[in-house]
A and B are shown apart, each in its own frame.
Chain A
Amino acid sequence: MEFLTDPVAWWIDPFTSNVFMQRALYAGLLVVLTTSVVGTWVVLRGMSFLGDALAHGVLPGIALAFIIGVDTTIGAFVAAIAMVWGINLIRSHSVLPEDTSIGVLFVGFLALAVAIMSSSSGAYTGDLNRFLFGSITGVDAGDLRRQVVAAVISLSGVAIFYRAFLVMTFDHAQAQVLGLRPRLAHGVLLVLLAISIIASFEAVGNLLVFAFLIAPPATAVLLVRRVPRIMAAAAIVGIVSTVVGLLVSYHHRTAAGATMALATVVVFLVVLTAKAILLAIGSRRGHTHAAVTGI
């Protein structure tokens, strides 16, 4: 209970006295900023599975880039594009539902990454973990710069395409009528998604970035209704989770990235539970709960 009895020592001191915590905080905040605005659309449009698949789909690109000696960011981006293209190809050439084509490529890309790494006799063969879980304690200035660029692209991309995303999300037919080119908008969203994943993987890793993409926006959807507010709430939830996760990691010596990701999920579950309890209390008092269901 130290976080109540001695709040300064628990909440503040770690960040003021520890440069690793400061770096991790900056990196974490940038991850949150990038993923929450993009993740909001992923959640609203029901693209979680695609998001998860993309987060892993970049792995073979990273692995190949390592072996060839190219910048891993480029490798990751190429792999992401290849995956999106492949999913569309399968979908347009078969009667299979989209989740099947995503699933096939998801596992295909993941397996390809492992196969590539196992065949390479060079360095890093054992470091799959590093890609999957990242290293928020090891972020350097270059990583932070890359994250800033990604955050700027994500924020401005979402701002520019806001109307297109909105109409496409809630009324696909109308988007076409309005000339908003839903396919282009969808493509832009996927690129933004890829950018936010790639920019975050050094810090939190390919496996855990998905937590930041989904959990804070999902929490926000439980709390507010309008899209701009969802984005804002998602960012706030993400920030709170990052700070709490880092502090728990600091005080209890747990892996930083995983603890932050866990915090986003715990916050989601807490909000979900609290909301269910409030709803139950509300309905017992005789309110109709028709007004508060759903999103």
Chain B
Amino acid sequence: MALGASACSGGTDDGTDDESAPPAAPAVPTILVTTGIWADIVSNVACDGLADIETIIPVGGDPHGFEPSLQDRARMENAALVVANGLELEEGLEDTLEAVAESGTPVFEFADGMEPIPFAFEGAHHGEGEDDGHDDEEEDSDGDEGHDEEQDEGDVEGEEEEGHHGEDEEEEEVDAEEGEEEEGHHDEDEEEEEEEEGHDEDEGEEEEDDHGEDEGGHGSGGDPHIWFDPQRVSGALPGLAGVLTDEVGLDAAAIDACLSGYLAELEAVDAEVAAKVEQLPAASRKLVTNHEALGYFADRYGFEVIGTVIPTPASMAQANPAGLEELAEIIEHEGIKAIFAETLHSVDDVEALAARVGDVDVITLYTGSLGPPGSGAETYVDFMRTNAELIVDALG
């Protein structure tokens, strides 16, 4: 891995051992990428040292909470390109990203070309009913190999919404209208929630507070954890390749070669994960996670996210006793074998939940960051494979 490699240190290529590329290229452009996961992906599109890829948020850092240093800011402004996730994943970097874009450095956000799925829990939480009926349509239009059955079985989303991104996915272009429609949904749900809570007089202030935080956290709506769906990632890569050639000035033919190689790799891991998931009976494909990070994984591979320990996507949110008990009952009722913690977050609440349920394992997944060397999640492809194995083995 050439992640976080030294900047502008001239000719020496690190990590990638290619002698073919002329080392007389001291002007290899530097590309800064917010998270290690995306950095790995970018380095595979600009492969063989075409660019110097650096990561802003260190391995093990929480993308939600990371605050940049002044040095980071300077590095971003001097970079040939800054790549981010978008959808307010990098909450602490938002302002800096904007400022950097204004200063003239091109900024590419992966989420830009994607139709985000809404957070599952704003409305759909209690909808345990599995939606069927229209599954077939999506399957047909989805056009990939065979493993689509699972995709739709246990989705949490309302049917309408699911229909939406089914469509968008293969068309790969987002039109603003649909985006708005989805956002409309999202807002409605939120209002509903507010109403539900609103009929209590005495502690009104407090609830407002809570909401304020929610909105501060993820204002624009939509789940930002898009990297959990390799198909969505693949869909965004041609856009990235375009920016790499047009804005950074990298050689189009070389980028094309990298891209097609990596797309094949992603397709392979996607198929591998799907095949792995197929070992699980459909009824076992239910996820209880620490914070709502696995929405896209669930959407892609036909899991249902039936609950999260941290009740809202807001970073300030805490677990609360009523929610945990309800979750414990759902886990018991559904006979779920394992619940999932994250490497980036405290496991206290997840373990308390597991202790309450008794007969349930706590498995720690890689979510917002790649793993350290030796973890089996050092690259994006390994990250997907390792997570899928952890999940399937735990629930199987």
A, B co-complexed? yes
Give the residue of B59, B321, B344 whose beta carbon is less than 8 angstroms from that of A14.
B321
Alpha-carbon distance between A83 and B202 when the two chains are bound, in angstroms: 40
Contact of B320 with A126 in the complex, beta carbons under 8 Å: no
Q: Is B139 an interface residue (CB 8 A)?
A: no
Establish whether residues A250 and B322, one from each chain, have CB atoms under 8 Å apart when the complex forms: yes
Assess whether A124 is interfacial by the CB under 8 Å rule. Answer: yes
Q: Are B345 and A127 touching (Cβ within 8 A)?
A: yes
Q: Is B106 an interface residue (CB 8 A)?
A: no
In the bound complex, do residue B60 and residue A122 qualify as a contact, i.e. CB atoms below 8 Å apart?
A: yes
Q: Are B349 and A254 in contact (CB under 8 A)?
A: no
| Chain B CB within 8 A of A133 CB | yes
**How far, in whole Å, are A256 and B352 apart by their CA atoms in the complex?**
15
**Contact bitstring B312-356, A, C-beta under 8 A = 1, else 0:** 000111111111110000000000000000011110110110011
How far apart are the CA atoms of A129 and B213 in the complex, in Å?
A: 13
Q: What is the CB-to-nearest-CB distance from B360 to chain A, in angstroms, rounded to a whole number?
A: 14
| Residue A246, interface by CB 8 Å | yes
With CB as the reference atom, state the residue of chain B lying closest to A118: B67
Q: How far is the CA of A140 from the CA of B348 in the complex (A)?
A: 8
A23: shortest Cβ distance to chain B, in Å? 7
Q: Is the CB of B324 within 8 A of A20?
A: yes
Residues of B within 8 A of A249 (CB): 320-322
| A19, A122, A135 — most chain B CB neighbours (10 Å) | A19
* Residue A288 is within 8 A (CB to CB) of chain B in the complex: no
Q: Which residues of A contact B195 (CB under 8 A)?
A: none
Are B351 and A18 in contact, CB atoms less than 8 angstroms apart?
no
Q: How many residues of A contact B (CB 8 A)?
A: 39
- Whose C-beta in chain A lies nearest to the C-beta of B68? A118
Say how far A152's CB is from chain B's closest CB, in angstroms: 24
Docked Cα-Cα span, A119 to B318, in Å, equals 25
* Max chain B C-beta neighbours (<10 A), residue from A14, A125, A256: A125
Minimum CB–CB distance for B309 against chain A, Å: 9
A contacts with B: majority SS: helix
The answer, yes or no, to whether A255 is at the interface (CB within 8 Å) is: yes
Q: Which residue of B lies closest to A135 (CB)?
A: B348
The reply to whether B66 and A126 contact each other, CB–CB distance below 8 Å, is yes
Task: Say which residue of B66, B67, B318 sits within 8 Å of A137 (CB atoms).
Answer: B318
| Binary contact readout A128-151 vs B (1 if CB under 8 angstroms, 0 otherwise) | 111001010111100000000000
Most chain A CB atoms below 10 A, which of B206, B316, B355: B206
How far apart are the CA atoms of A140 and B353 in the complex, in Å?
11
Give CA–CA (A124, B320) in the complex, Å: 21
Once the chains bind, are B351 and A140 in contact (CB under 8 Å)? yes
Shortest distance in angstroms between B69's beta carbon and chain A's nearest beta carbon? 7
Whether B325 pairs with A118 at a CB distance below 8 angstroms is no
Asked if B356 and A19 sit within 8 Å, CB to CB, the answer is: yes
Q: Which of A130, A140, A246, A258 contacts B321 (CB 8 A)?
A: A246
In the bound assembly, the distance between CA atoms of A257 and B206 in angstroms comes to: 12
CB distance from A289 to the nearest CB of B (A): 31
The reply to whether the CB of A262 lies closer than 8 angstroms to some CB of chain B is yes
Residues in chain B near residue A256, CB distance under 8 A: 318-321
B-side contacts of A20, CB under 8 Å: 321, 324-325, 352, 356
**A102 proximal to B (CB < 8 A):** no
B203 within 8 A of partner (CB): yes
Question: Inside 8 A of A17's CB, which chain B residues have their CB?
Answer: 325
- Which residues 237-295 of A have a CB within 8 angstroms of B? 246, 248-259, 262
Closest chain A CB from B368 CB (angstroms): 8
Query: What CA separation (Å) do A256 and B319 show in the bound complex?
Result: 8
A121 to B61: give the CA distance in the assembly, Å: 6
Q: Which of A43-82 contact B (CB under 8 A)?
A: none
Q: Are B65 and A257 in contact (CB under 8 A)?
A: no
Whether the pair B206, A248 counts as a contact (CB closer than 8 A) is yes
B315 partner residues in chain A, CB cutoff 8 A: 126, 129
B311 within 8 A of A: yes
Confirm or deny: B177 has a beta carbon within 8 angstroms of a beta carbon on chain A: no
The reply to whether A125 and B318 form a contact with Cβ atoms under 8 Å apart is no
Give every chain A residue within 8 A of B355 (Cβ-Cβ). 140
Verify if B170 is at the interface (C-beta below 8 Å from A): no
A173 within 8 A of B: no
Chain B residues contacting A124 (CB-CB under 8 Å) are 344, 346
Q: How far is the CB of A234 from chain B (nearest CB, A)?
A: 23
The CA of A21 and the CA of B202, in the complex, are separated in Å by 21
Contact B344 A138 (CB under 8 A): no
Partner of A18, one of B319, B325, B349: B325
Given that A121-B59, A127-B62, A252-B207 are known contacts, is A137 also in contact with B344, CB under 8 Å in the complex?
A: no
Q: Determine if B102 is an interface residue (Cβ-Cβ < 8 Å).
A: no
Q: Is B242 an interface residue (CB 8 A)?
A: no
A135/B356 in contact, CB under 8 A? no
The chain A residue with its CB closest to the CB of B368 is A126
Per the bound structure, the CA–CA distance linking A128 and B62 in Å amounts to 11
Contact of A14 with B322 at beta-carbon distance under 8 Å, contacts A123-B343, A126-B66, A127-B346 already known: yes
How far does the alpha carbon of A250 sit from the alpha carbon of B325 in the complex, in Å?
A: 10
Does B58 sit within 8 A of A, measured CB to CB?
Answer: yes
Is A33 in the interface zone, CB < 8 Å from B?
no
Is B181 among interface residues, defined by CB-CB distance under 8 A?
no
A24 within 8 A of B: yes
Given contacts A126-B344, A248-B206, contact A137 B62 (CB under 8 A): no
- Find the A residue at minimum CB distance from B4: A121
C-alpha spacing A138/B203, complex, angstroms:
24
Query: What mask results when residues 69 to 87 of chain B are scored 1 for a CB within 8 Å of chain A, else 0?
Result: 1000000000000000000
The answer to whether B200 has its CB under 8 Å from any CB of chain A is yes
Shortest C-beta distance, B60 to chain A (Å), equals 5
Q: Please, could you name 27 A-B residue pairs with CB atoms under 8 Å apart, sorted by A?
A: A17-B325, A20-B356, A23-B352, A121-B58, A125-B61, A125-B62, A126-B61, A126-B64, A126-B65, A126-B344, A127-B62, A129-B315, A129-B316, A133-B316, A135-B319, A135-B346, A135-B348, A137-B321, A140-B351, A249-B321, A249-B322, A253-B311, A255-B320, A256-B318, A257-B318, A258-B206, A258-B318
**Which 7 interchain pairs have the tightest Cβ spacing?**
A126-B62, A138-B348, A126-B65, A121-B58, A255-B318, A20-B321, A138-B349
Residues of B in contact with A (beta carbons under 8 Å apart): 58-62, 64-67, 69, 197, 200, 202-203, 206-207, 210, 311, 315-325, 343-346, 348-349, 351-352, 355-356
